[in-house]
């Protein structure tokens, strides 16, 4: 009896958590925390050609930085104007055959990566075209009335202009701060705000990774996890980098419901700058663990070419989509080799 039970348990574990190598290749059936069975076709999801009402390209998002419309004040301060529009009616194919109502800033989850230099005047012209109230709350230093918590922006075209000096240097999340907060964040109203030091950072191949998850059956547990929204995306589309080239990743954990997330890099270690606020890394490691909205900057370079995994070492997350690959090519090779 015990033997039969243990075999059954073993089989169910294989069904719920198939091994990494086959997780994305075969039809997937898994039981959610509430007992619902989720089926996906096992096809590779192409986020650019689905029936979704969202156009989101994880390959483009990875290295896409929005510096705003730039002007200069009379006293020489750089002004950066951004227009951000919130909506809450879009449907996105989160996994093959699994559609979910995403709430978006400028049409995507995450919203655009907003980038400024320390001391710049940042002006966010926020328009709420959603059916619910929304706001933008930036992590960072600013006046109370610019905090996006008490200044609720009403649905159907409500507007607010957030204005603050960019600071401190680092990588910060922004997100809607309307209650119930869990609902507004888990549906996708978040993005990344990078504040560069005035003196700049050493030249690097820079990218942004937002660690997120989706609760598609509304049981306050995530069914899918990802770096940049689409489960397994960078496993099917490895991120191409070069040997001996400095890689800098701005990583932000926005996973709701789960208390922790993490980032493990294979075949290498990285210098890690928590929140990106210090010039000296706090650690040299291949594994960091992040609570919600914890973030930082990772820097590394590969000596040897080849394919290297990166993924959550929380295995449940990696087997439900939070896994990817770096394809490291020799610096001397031509593009596409």
Task: Give least dist CB 54 to Cu ion, A.
Answer: 17
Listed in sequence order, the residues at least 6 apart from 321 whose beta carbon sits closer than 8 Å to its beta carbon are 95, 224, 225, 226, 230, 231, 232
Per-position x/- string for 102-141, each x denoting binding to Cu ion as judged by CB under 5 A, each - no binding: --------------------------------x-------
Q: Are 164 and 122 in contact (CB under 8 A)?
A: yes
Task: Give least dist CB 42 to Cu ion, A.
Answer: 34
Nearer to Cu ion, 155 or 305 (CB): 155
Task: Give least dist CB 179 to Cu ion, A.
Answer: 9
Phi then psi for 301, rounded to 5 degrees? -145, 150
User: Per DSSP, what are the bridge partners of residue 161?
Assistant: 125
Task: Give least dist CB 212 to Cu ion, A.
Answer: 16
Nearer to Cu ion, 86 or 325 (CB): 86
Would you count residue 90 as binding Cu ion (CB under 5 A)? no
Task: Give least dist CB 163 to Cu ion, A.
Answer: 20
Sole binder of Cu ion in the list 28, 115, 172, 184 (CB under 5 A): 184
Instruction: Identify which of 286, 307, 314 has the alpha carbon closest to the alpha carbon of residue 298.
Output: 286
Stretch of 16-24, 186-194, 197-205, 240-248 contacting Cu ion, by CB under 5 A: 186-194
Give the three-state DSSP class for 61. Answer: helix
Listed in sequence order, the residues at least 6 apart from 174 whose beta carbon sits closer than 8 Å to its beta carbon are 111, 114, 136, 137, 138, 139, 190, 191, 192, 193
Would you count residue 185 as binding Cu ion (CB under 5 A)? no
Would you count residue 176 as binding Cu ion (CB under 5 A)? yes
Phi then psi for 233, rounded to 5 degrees? -55, -50
Q: Give the interface with Cu ion as residue ranges (CB under 5 A).
A: 134, 176, 178, 184, 189
């Amino acid at each position: 009896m015990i033997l039969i039970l243990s075999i059954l348990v073993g089989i169910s574990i294989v069904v719920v958590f198939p091994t990494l190598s086959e997780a994305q290749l075969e039809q997937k059936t898994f039981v959610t925390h509430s007992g619902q069975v989720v089926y996906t076709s096992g096809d590779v999801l192409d986020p650019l050609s689905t029936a979704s009402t969202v156009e989101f390209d994880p390959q483009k998002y990875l290295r896409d930085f929005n510096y705003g419309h730039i002007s200069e004040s009379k006293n020489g301060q750089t002004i950066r104007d951004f227009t951000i529009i919130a909506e809450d009616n879009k449907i996105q194919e989160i996994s093959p055959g699994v559609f979910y109502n995403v709430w978006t800033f400028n049409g995507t989850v995450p919203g655009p990566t907003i980038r400024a230099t320390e001391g710049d005047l940042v002006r966010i012209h926020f328009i709420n075209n959603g059916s619910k109230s929304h706001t933008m709350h930036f992590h960072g230093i600013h006046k109370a009335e610019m905090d996006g918590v008490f200044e609720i922006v009403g649905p159907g075209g409500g507007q607010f202009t957030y204005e603050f000096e960019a600071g401190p240097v680092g990588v910060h999340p922004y997100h809607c701060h309307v209650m119930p907060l869990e609902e507004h964040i888990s549906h996708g109203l978040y993005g990344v705000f990078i504040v560069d030091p005035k003196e700049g950072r050493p030249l690097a191949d820079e990218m942004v990774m937002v660690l997120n998850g989706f609760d598609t059956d509304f049981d306050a547990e995530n069914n899918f996890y990802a770096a940049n929204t689409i489960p397994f995306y960078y496993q099917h589309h490895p991120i191409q980098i070069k040997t001996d080239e400095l890689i800098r990743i701005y990583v932000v954990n926005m996973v709701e419901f789960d208390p922790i997330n993490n980032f493990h890099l294979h075949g290498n270690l990285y210098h890690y700058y928590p929140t990106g606020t210090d010039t000296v890394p706090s650690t040299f490691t291949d594994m960091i663990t992040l609570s919600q909205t914890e973030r930082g900057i990772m820097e590394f370079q590969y000596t040897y070419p080849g394919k290297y995994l990166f993924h959550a070492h929380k295995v449940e997350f990696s087997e439900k989509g939070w896994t990817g690959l770096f394809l490291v090519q020799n610096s001397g090779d031509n593009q596409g080799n």
